[in-house]
Amino acid sequence: MKSPLTGSDAVHDVIGIGFGPSNLALSIAVEEHNARLGAGPGLRALFLERQPRFGWHRGMLIDDATMQVSFLKDLVTLRNPTSDYSFLCFLRERGRLIDFLNQKTLFPLRMEFHEYFAWAAERVAHLVAYDSEVVSVDPVRDDDGTVSRFDVTSRDTARPGATVTRRARNISVAMGLEPHVPPGLELTEHVWHNSELIPRATGLADSGVPVRRAVVLGAGQSAAEAVDYLHRTFPEAEVVSVFAKYGYTPADDSPFANRIFDPEAVDVYFSAPAEVKQSLLDYHRSTNYSVVDMELIESLYATAYQEKVAGRERLRFLNVSRVRAVDPRAGGGVDVAVEFLPTAERQILSADMLVLATGYRPRDVTSLLGAAGKLCLRDDGDAIRVGRDHRVETVPEVTAGIYLQGGTEHTHGLTSTLLSTVAVRAEEIHHSVLAGLAGLATA
C-alpha cells in the first residue's frame, strides 16, 4: 500500500530520480535560478538518491587516475562561467587554486573531481533526499483525463518498509549506468566488476591473504587502469590482462575528433537521419569506447618490457583471446579458461580474482517508470522518442514532463552518458521546465 502524499503543499515542479553529476548540475541550475528571484516563488525541486550520501564511481577512484575531460566541462562553466559552483571556485575555497594552475593541466585527478562533486552536492543538500530509492512512477489523471502530474514513490533504504509518495509536474530521470556482466559470467566473491575494484582489492590486501594471480578482462581505459592498479597493489602477484584485440587502442582525443562532444554536435546529431547517426557513432567510437590513454598504454608496455629484461614477468597480456569459462577452485579462487582465438587453444589460469572491466550499460528506464512508461512514444526500433530538450515524447493527453539524462545516445549522441555537456543539458532541461510551467500558468 502506498503512503499518502507528504504534506498539503506537496506538488513539486520537478523531482529528480538519481543524484549523480547530471541531476546535481540540474539542482544547481534550479538553485541559482531561485537565488536570482530573491524572495519570489522559485522552482520547487527535490532530488531522490538511493545512496546515503553523494558518490560517483567510488570503486574506481584510483589515487593517480586523472579525468579524461577538461575541468572546464564541470557542473556549471559551459552554462554559466560566472557561477560560484565551478571547479575553480571549489579549488579557491580549498586553497589549492594556485597549486593546481602550476601543474599546467586541464585534467584533474579523478578523486579530486569527486571531491568537487561532493562539495557542490553539499551546498544543495536541502534539495536532496538521500536513502530514497524510487520504486514507481504513476500518472495522475485530472477529471478530463489529462495527465498533469506524476506520483513518485520511493522506499527509505535506511528504514525497511517505509515508503513516501511525492507528486511532481515534471521528473528528471538520471539513474546512471549499471555494470555490464558478459553472458555466461556472474559476480561472486572472486569475480568482480571493476566498479568495485578499490574496496574489493583493499579488503583483500588488508586481509593478509596472499594473492598469486589476478586476471582482468577488458580492453578499455578502466581495464588498463585496473591492470596497473592491481600490479602495484599486489607486488608479488602475476597480473594477466585478457582482451580480444591485438593490443590496447589509443583514445582519439585530437581536437577535431573531440568536437563530437561539443554542444553544437548534439544539434547536428539530433537532426541527422538514422543512417548518419549510426555512421557518426561508428566513426567516433574511438573517442570513448574500448580505448585507453596513450600515456597509460606506454607505461604498461614499458613495465612489461622491464620485467622481461629482469627475468621476472609479473605483467602478462593475452591478446586476441576471450574468457570462455570460469569455475570455482577448490580452496578458493577461480579457474579461468582463456581461449586464443586464432587457434582455439585454451589454457586454464588459476586466479585469486577475475576483474570484469567490461563496461556499463544504461539502466532500464521503462521498468522504473512502470505505468508512466506506457505513456511514452517509441520509434521504429522500439527506443523511447526524446525531443531535443531531453523531454520524452508522450501520448497527447500527457502535459507532465519526463526528462531523460542518459540513455539517449540514439537521439543525442555520444555525450548522452558523459560529462562533456552536463552543464549545457542542465540548462536546456531547466529552460524547458520553465517554459512548460509558463504555458500552464497562461492556459
In the chain, where are the structural domains located? 11-176+363-442, 179-250+289-356, 255-287
Q: pLDDT (tens digit, 0 to 9) for every residue of the chain, 443 residues total?
A: 344 455 434 799 999 999 999 999 999 999 999 999 877 778 999 999 999 999 999 999 999 999 999 999 999 999 999 999 999 999 999 999 999 999 999 999 999 999 999 999 999 999 999 999 999 999 999 999 999 999 999 999 988 889 999 999 999 999 888 999 999 999 999 999 999 999 999 999 998 889 999 999 999 999 999 999 999 999 999 999 999 999 999 998 899 988 999 999 999 999 999 999 999 988 888 888 889 999 999 999 999 999 999 999 999 999 999 999 999 998 889 999 999 999 999 999 999 999 999 999 888 888 889 899 999 999 998 999 999 999 999 999 999 999 999 999 999 999 888 899 999 999 999 999 999 998 876 76
Which residue type is seen at 42? Answer: G
Q: What angle do CA 110, 112, 115 make, to 5 degrees?
A: 115
Helices (H) and strands (E) in the chain, counts: 13, 19
Instruction: Determine if residue 112 is left, alpha or beta; phi over 0 gives left, psi from -120 to 50 gives alpha, anything else beta.
Output: alpha
User: φ and ψ at 272, to 5 degrees?
Assistant: -80, 150
DSSP letter at 251 equals P
Residues 6+ positions from 250 with CB-CB distance below 8 Å: 291, 292, 293, 294, 297
Predicted local confidence at residue 8, as pLDDT:
38
d(CA 124, CA 32): 10
Q: Provide the grid cell at 115.
A: 571531491
Which residue type is seen at 433? Answer: V
Q: How far is CA 190 from CA 194, 277, 282, 328, in A?
A: 12, 40, 35, 9
Say whether domain 179-250+289-356 belongs to CATH 3.90.79.10.
Answer: no
Ordered DSSP codes for 104-132: --S--BHHHHHHHHHHHHHHTGGGEE-SE
- Pick from 403, 407, 297: which is nearest to 362 by CA? 407
Q: Is 179-250+289-356 the same fold as 11-176+363-442?
A: yes
Predicted local confidence at residue 167, as pLDDT:
98
Measured from the Cβ of residue 93, the count of other Cβ atoms closer than 10 Å reads: 11
Spatial strand order in the sheet of 334-340:
321-328, 334-340, 345-351
Q: Give the position of cell 527535490.
A: 46
Q: Give the position of cell 539530433.
A: 270
CB 211 within 8 A of CB 285: no
d(CA 317, CA 295): 17
Q: Bridge partners of 351?
A: 334
CATH topology of domain 11-176+363-442: FAD/NAD(P)-binding domain (3.50.50)
